[in-house]
Amino acid sequence: MDDKVSKIDSRVDSLEFALGQAQSELDQMHQTEAQVKDDLLYVKSQSMRNNLIFGNIPEPKQETWENREQTLRRFFVDHLNIAQQLADNLQFERVHRMGDYNQRSGSPRKIVAKFAFYKDREMVRRLRRTKLNDTQFYLHEQFPPEIVARRKSLLPKLKNAKKQARQAWLAYDTLFIDGVPVSDKESDRSQMQNGNRK
């Protein structure tokens, strides 16, 4: 009987060891999967690096891709005050409307423009604050949906930091407050401490 119990104990020990190893390997696989997903998301974001999305630009019924480029160039001149020659010289890899055309909605689809050069994209993007405030038009960077969700969750913290007259901005999916990257928990803590000081 003692011999049988000893063998069972030994078996249980080896099974527990095997289970621990399997759990460790499973944890490692989960970490690898998360890393692969992050890497894939980064590559996806990089493929959108030169893209800007423009909203509320009127959409003619028979718009072609050539017309779309011209529509965008006209928008640059009329609403961003870019010189005609500069607007004409900007190069795009592609300009297209998002989604299918819906006659019933009456609202124009957003335009996605993939600039050939990042510096051109940045020049146009920087004009947003000075030229499009208090207008119906808007423009913003394009990100994958996962990054958009992360940025959206950080917006309240960004607004709170700005209300406290602190320098705050979003870069990719990271919130910076006074030049320091801040996680969600750190952001809550630092804002509470700042609020208590005032």
Walk along the chain (198 residues) and give the pLDDT tens digit of each residue: 777 777 777 777 788 888 888 888 888 888 888 888 888 888 988 999 999 999 999 988 788 878 899 999 999 999 999 999 999 999 999 999 998 876 667 789 999 999 999 999 999 999 998 999 999 999 999 999 999 999 999 999 999 999 999 999 998 889 999 999 986 544 444 444 444 444
CB 52 within 8 A of CB 127: no
How many CB atoms sit inside 10 A of residue 95's CB? 20
Pairing between β-strand 168-171 and β-strand 138-141 as defined by DSSP bridges: unpaired
Model-wide pTM > 0.75: no
The domain limits of the chain are 1-47, 51-141, 145-197
Which class is 51-141 in CATH?
alpha beta
